[in-house]
Structure 1
Amino acid sequence: MPSPVSTDRSAAQPPGRGSVEALISQTRRLKGDVDAVRRDTPSDGSDPEERWQRALYDLALHQLDDLDAHLAQLRDGPAAESTEAPAARPVPAGAPHGSLLSRVGSAEWNLLTDEATWSGELYQILGLDPDSPALTLDELPSLVLEDDRPQLTALVTDCLVDGKPIDGEFRVVRPDGSVRAVHMMGEPVLGADGGAASMWAVMRDVSALRRCRTTVHETRDSLQRHRRQEQTEHRIAVELQEAVLPPWRGSLRLPHQGPRTLDLAARRLAAAHRTPLGGDWYDALELSDGETLLSVGDLTGHGVAVATGMAMLLGGVRGMALAGSRPGELLGMLNQLLDATVQPALGSAVCCRYRPDTRTLVWARAGHPAPLLYRDGTGRLLDAPDGVLLGATSGAVYGQAEEALRPGDVLLLHTDGLVPGHGPGAAVDRLLGLAPRFGAARTAQDCVRTVVEAFGGAAREDDACVLVARVTA
């Protein structure tokens, strides 16, 4: 290998064995920590962010493996040099494919005699026969991919002419046609006259490392595209929901200037984390016969497709209600509509018609939580008629129930998830616990604010809607 005199410094003294051992111990501890975190990171291949994190962990472990092997070589020192002319050393039989011994080789080119000396590992990296002569500097570019030859020529020229250290990467084509990425580091060695007498280099097969980095870049790009797509879909879904859901706040005033019989207010509570918009809806509509339609519902799933399906269902509810359909009949036709869609889905809903002249609520449900009725400071769950989920079965029949209301009564309709972290029974108990505060509330909007104060700041995993109707006359 090279003379101890290079173009810019004398050979450095090797570090003490103890200090290298300490570095090896630290590296191996770090490898264990990284590997433990990697194993604890779930990845089924479906989440781009998880794939990107996994690729980064793999890359870090790969680099730590190489650092560990390099430090071990530094600790053990170079092999004893033979007094004979250097010859190609074969890779030990026990060295596994892809180990450091099979990925790092060395070479020296004597510029005075035009002789070249390669290690056995370099022959293996380049895929050449160890018994063949080592290639000279003029012959070396013949192995390099044509696009990378100018880069290799520039590295060697700068080293021999200007004394610059070599630190670059290029691709070689092996005789079997496979392509390897090779990283080369080296320096010129000066002769007695101060000119470059030889050049030495260490070449490392970094193909596996490049593949790891490529995987990291590809998964990062995929993650970024996935995030941009999610942002676009969320924006479209929000715009669609805002275009469909009622924009009113506070009381709903009848357009025909009739007596105000219901004080209405509603609110959508967003999920705590940024998740694609769900298919929750609420609605209130004055009908031509003087009755008022109240409905809430939820279509399973998230994203633009679900928001579109929600808009379709809500349009169906309004159209059939305006045509005079009663709640049970309306849900039956809504079930047929959902069953006939190109992309089948499941949904739930509550549909109510309020008759102001008799203060009667006629309602039906399809697999949805029943409304809650608050009166005189207490609350109860309305007795629910039969009704399966929308889209669950063809030809489903939905029952109806009637409830007589009084002035001052408060009716609460909501979608699943309004009370996060609780099952249906516990959620109903917590909602009924708001009865004293509802009894003291002066408007439906006050009741909605009470619900938001109680459950709006919770760790909600999904969107939820709440609709409050207060009987005024």
Structure 2
Amino acid sequence: MPPHVSADRSPAQPPGRGPVDALIRQARRLRGEVDAVRRDARGDASDPRGRWERALCDLALHQLNDLDGHLAQLRDGPPPVPAAPADEPRAAAAAPHGALLGRVGSAEWNLLTDEAAWSGELFRILGRDPAVPPLTLDELPSVVLDEDRPRLTAMVTDCLVDAKPIDGEFHIVRPDGAVRAVHMMGEPVLDADGGTASMWAVLRDVSELRLSQSAVRETRDSLHRHRHRAQTEHRLAVEPQEAVLPPWHGSLRLSRRGRPRLDLAAHHLPSSTGAPLGGDWYDVLELADGDTLLGVGGLTGRRPDVAPGMAMLLGALRGMAMAGARPGQLMTWLNQLLEATGQPALGSAVCCRYRPGTRTLTWARAGHPAPLLFRGGTGRMLDAPAGVLLGATSGSSYGQAEETLEPGDLLLLHTEGLTPRQESPHSRAVERGDGTTVAHRLLGLAPRFTAARCAQECVRTVVEEFGGSGRDDDACVLVARVTT
């Protein structure tokens, strides 16, 4: 339709084809770059961040597609109103749903003659037959959703009475029942006396754009909920673990005089994948009879209740050890405890009782790698007694082993999460309980352990070796060195 001329200003001249063509090329180049980013975005449906990234890219592509279509219309000029041949309704119906050239239409309503003039695109947006006269301003609300009619009436009234520009959105119902979101921008056209002679408007179908914006909001909210849940689970795991694990920051020497002492150090290595903490634990406890309890272990899984389960297990271990239970009996009772809990779980552990007077180490294990003993610059894995995973078999019994230590000996206990999943012996350790893969790497650190001045330096060596290895699980390491 011809451009509208307001009495108080001259019509703007359309830009030349050269500058518009340059803008179209820039828009299309940018659209291609955004599409490449979209293809590279993570598309895992279970990943909230990936869904959010793809939704943002989809929104940007919708906006760039619209921009490309609008620039093409600016370059080519508005098409004429169709002559409404007999087959026009079928042609309009055959137009692609949401096609670019069908997203922006224009209209003018003459207030003096009560006539309306629509562009062909507006007929397609509203799904109306071009052979039927366009709707007048009084008839236009009939195709608008009931809840949006007051908004449209207010915009039109403000434009016609107060000469305010129209800039608003409403929903229309097409004859086929489809609901579309339409954004309307318009202004009054004044006559020579300054009165409003007609109203001119551009209407844009923004349905796909609003769907993309809705998808961005939903995926953003989903990402926020996912992060909040992850933070909550992390807090539920960390707080019980920090409450029960010994809060060491450096070496700890047992204080009894006149007897060989242990130089102790331990460290918890978090998962390098950022996953919630698991149920791995370590513990050292000086008992009433002067013996020292050393232990490491873990519960399987990453549920929020794993860390409280670990705290329960560790509390029971301490209580039974203080009551005088030997390591083999401890494992038997812990197995019965896991069987009796309302949340069945599997666990592994190694428990050692060290007697300073004789330097005797008595120990037992439950589906866990055996302790490593370093002496004279070399290391070996202690011969392991029988012992299945805690909670795996009802009525299991656990054997004990003894080892006499010497001054300068270093004992290293660890959980299975030190190695990455592809290297982890976890699946084999469930059956054999040896953990030979990680043990081989630890035994290779014997020269560095020998040169270390204290247990804390040995722990630091382990952290340097395994801290950046891409572990999927958290892990614990405990070092005890016999001192003179």
On the 8 A contact 1:88/1:130 being kept in 2, the answer is no
Cα deviation, residue 7, structure 1: 6.3
Amino acid at match of 1:106: S
Task: Specify the alignment match of 2:433 in structure 1.
Answer: none
Amino acid at match of 2:279: G
On the 8 A contact 1:272/1:461 being kept in 2, the answer is yes
> Are the structure 2 counterparts of residues 230 and 423 from structure 1 closer, same or farther at C-alpha, using a change threshold of 3 Å?
closer
Question: What is the DSSP-based 3-state SS (H/G/I as helix, E as strand, rest coil) of the residue aligned with 1:37?
Answer: helix
> Are the structure 2 counterparts of residues 396 and 408 from structure 1 closer, same or farther at C-alpha, using a change threshold of 3 Å?
same
Task: Specify the alignment match of 1:180 in structure 2.
Answer: 180
Task: Specify the alignment match of 2:166 in structure 1.
Answer: 166
Amino acid at match of 1:279: G
Deviations 1:382-440 (A, max 9, x none): 23344443344445554433322111101011123335685565643442233233223
Task: Specify the alignment match of 1:95 in structure 2.
Answer: 95
**How far, CA to CA, are the matches of 1:158 and 1:278 in structure 2?**
63
> Are the structure 2 counterparts of residues 364 and 179 from structure 1 closer, same or farther at C-alpha, using a change threshold of 3 Å?
same
Residue 467 of structure 1 pairs with residue 478 of structure 2: yes
Question: What is the DSSP-based 3-state SS (H/G/I as helix, E as strand, rest coil) of the residue aligned with 1:106?
Answer: strand
Residue 156 of structure 1 pairs with residue 156 of structure 2: yes
Question: What is the DSSP-based 3-state SS (H/G/I as helix, E as strand, rest coil) of the residue aligned with 2:225?
Answer: helix
Deviations 1:39-93 (A, max 9, x none): 33333322222221121122122222222333333344332467x8999964545
- What are structure 1's unaligned runs of at least 5 residues? none
Residue 349 of structure 1 pairs with residue 349 of structure 2: yes
Cα deviation, residue 109, structure 1: 0.5
**How far, CA to CA, are the matches of 2:334 and 2:104 in structure 1?**
70
**How far, CA to CA, are the matches of 2:22 and 2:86 in structure 1?**
34
On the 8 A contact 1:5/1:11 being kept in 2, the answer is yes
- What are structure 2's unaligned runs of at least 5 residues? 426-435
On the 8 A contact 1:7/1:163 being kept in 2, the answer is no
Cα deviation, residue 146, structure 1: 4.3
Cα deviation, residue 95, structure 1: 1.6
Residue 431 of structure 1 pairs with residue 432 of structure 2: no
Deviations 1:299-337 (A, max 9, x none): 233353221121122123223334444434433443343
> Are the structure 2 counterparts of residues 262 and 196 from structure 1 closer, same or farther at C-alpha, using a change threshold of 3 Å?
same
**How far, CA to CA, are the matches of 1:204 and 1:335 in structure 2?**
69
On the 8 A contact 1:6/1:187 being kept in 2, the answer is no
Task: Specify the alignment match of 1:445 in structure 2.
Answer: 456
Cα deviation, residue 375, structure 1: 1.0
On the 8 A contact 1:375/1:410 being kept in 2, the answer is yes
> Are the structure 2 counterparts of residues 126 and 94 from structure 1 closer, same or farther at C-alpha, using a change threshold of 3 Å?
closer
Of residues 384-393 and 358-367 in structure 1, the stretch that sits farther from structure 2 once superposed is 384-393
> Are the structure 2 counterparts of residues 357 and 259 from structure 1 closer, same or farther at C-alpha, using a change threshold of 3 Å?
closer
On the 8 A contact 1:2/1:189 being kept in 2, the answer is no
Amino acid at match of 1:359: R
Cα deviation, residue 295, structure 1: 0.9
Deviations 1:244-301 (A, max 9, x none): 11235532536x8784532222122334464322211101123344432211112233
> Are the structure 2 counterparts of residues 35 and 377 from structure 1 closer, same or farther at C-alpha, using a change threshold of 3 Å?
same
Amino acid at match of 2:310: M
On the 8 A contact 2:268/2:474 being kept in 1, the answer is yes
> Are the structure 2 counterparts of residues 180 and 275 from structure 1 closer, same or farther at C-alpha, using a change threshold of 3 Å?
same
**How far, CA to CA, are the matches of 1:53 and 1:395 in structure 2?**
52
> Are the structure 2 counterparts of residues 392 and 144 from structure 1 closer, same or farther at C-alpha, using a change threshold of 3 Å?
same
On the 8 A contact 1:352/1:364 being kept in 2, the answer is yes
Deviations 1:8-27 (A, max 9, x none): 65433334444444433433
TM-score by length of 2: 0.84
On the 8 A contact 1:88/1:120 being kept in 2, the answer is no
> Are the structure 2 counterparts of residues 70 and 3 from structure 1 closer, same or farther at C-alpha, using a change threshold of 3 Å?
closer
> Are the structure 2 counterparts of residues 423 and 307 from structure 1 closer, same or farther at C-alpha, using a change threshold of 3 Å?
closer
Residue 208 of structure 1 pairs with residue 219 of structure 2: no
**How far, CA to CA, are the matches of 1:372 and 1:234 in structure 2?**
31
Amino acid at match of 2:445: L
Task: Specify the alignment match of 1:191 in structure 2.
Answer: 191
Residue 413 of structure 1 pairs with residue 409 of structure 2: no
Aligned pairs (5 A) from 1:318-467: 318-418=318-418, 423=424, 427-456=438-467, 461-467=472-478
> Are the structure 2 counterparts of residues 259 and 366 from structure 1 closer, same or farther at C-alpha, using a change threshold of 3 Å?
same
On the 8 A contact 1:277/1:303 being kept in 2, the answer is no
Question: What is the DSSP-based 3-state SS (H/G/I as helix, E as strand, rest coil) of the residue aligned with 2:305?
Answer: helix
> Are the structure 2 counterparts of residues 391 and 69 from structure 1 closer, same or farther at C-alpha, using a change threshold of 3 Å?
farther
> Are the structure 2 counterparts of residues 119 and 394 from structure 1 closer, same or farther at C-alpha, using a change threshold of 3 Å?
farther
Question: What is the DSSP-based 3-state SS (H/G/I as helix, E as strand, rest coil) of the residue aligned with 2:301?
Answer: strand
> Are the structure 2 counterparts of residues 130 and 385 from structure 1 closer, same or farther at C-alpha, using a change threshold of 3 Å?
farther
**How far, CA to CA, are the matches of 2:47 and 2:136 in structure 1?**
50
**How far, CA to CA, are the matches of 2:84 and 2:41 in structure 1?**
53
**How far, CA to CA, are the matches of 1:418 and 1:105 in structure 2?**
64
> Are the structure 2 counterparts of residues 395 and 97 from structure 1 closer, same or farther at C-alpha, using a change threshold of 3 Å?
farther
Residue 44 of structure 1 pairs with residue 38 of structure 2: no
On the 8 A contact 1:88/1:118 being kept in 2, the answer is no
**How far, CA to CA, are the matches of 1:180 and 1:206 in structure 2?**
8
Q: Percent identity?
A: 72
Question: What is the DSSP-based 3-state SS (H/G/I as helix, E as strand, rest coil) of the residue aligned with 1:278?
Answer: coil
Aligned pairs (5 A) from 1:232-381: 232-248=232-248, 250-253=251-254, 259=259, 261-272=261-272, 274-302=274-302, 304-381=304-381
Amino acid at match of 2:35: D
**How far, CA to CA, are the matches of 2:291 and 2:391 in structure 1?**
28
> Are the structure 2 counterparts of residues 348 and 36 from structure 1 closer, same or farther at C-alpha, using a change threshold of 3 Å?
farther
Amino acid at match of 1:467: L
**How far, CA to CA, are the matches of 1:375 and 1:278 in structure 2?**
32
Task: Specify the alignment match of 2:226 in structure 1.
Answer: 226
Cα deviation, residue 242, structure 1: 1.5
> Are the structure 2 counterparts of residues 162 and 415 from structure 1 closer, same or farther at C-alpha, using a change threshold of 3 Å?
same
Cα deviation, residue 339, structure 1: 4.2
Question: What is the DSSP-based 3-state SS (H/G/I as helix, E as strand, rest coil) of the residue aligned with 1:307?
Answer: helix
> Are the structure 2 counterparts of residues 235 and 257 from structure 1 closer, same or farther at C-alpha, using a change threshold of 3 Å?
farther
> Are the structure 2 counterparts of residues 389 and 29 from structure 1 closer, same or farther at C-alpha, using a change threshold of 3 Å?
farther
On the 8 A contact 2:265/2:455 being kept in 1, the answer is yes
Root mean square deviation of aligned Cα: 3.4
On the 8 A contact 2:6/2:191 being kept in 1, the answer is no
Q: What is the aligned residue count? A: 471
Of residues 368-377 and 147-156 in structure 1, the stretch that sits farther from structure 2 once superposed is 147-156
Question: What is the DSSP-based 3-state SS (H/G/I as helix, E as strand, rest coil) of the residue aligned with 2:403?
Answer: strand
**How far, CA to CA, are the matches of 1:427 and 1:9 in structure 2?**
83
Task: Specify the alignment match of 2:112 in structure 1.
Answer: 112
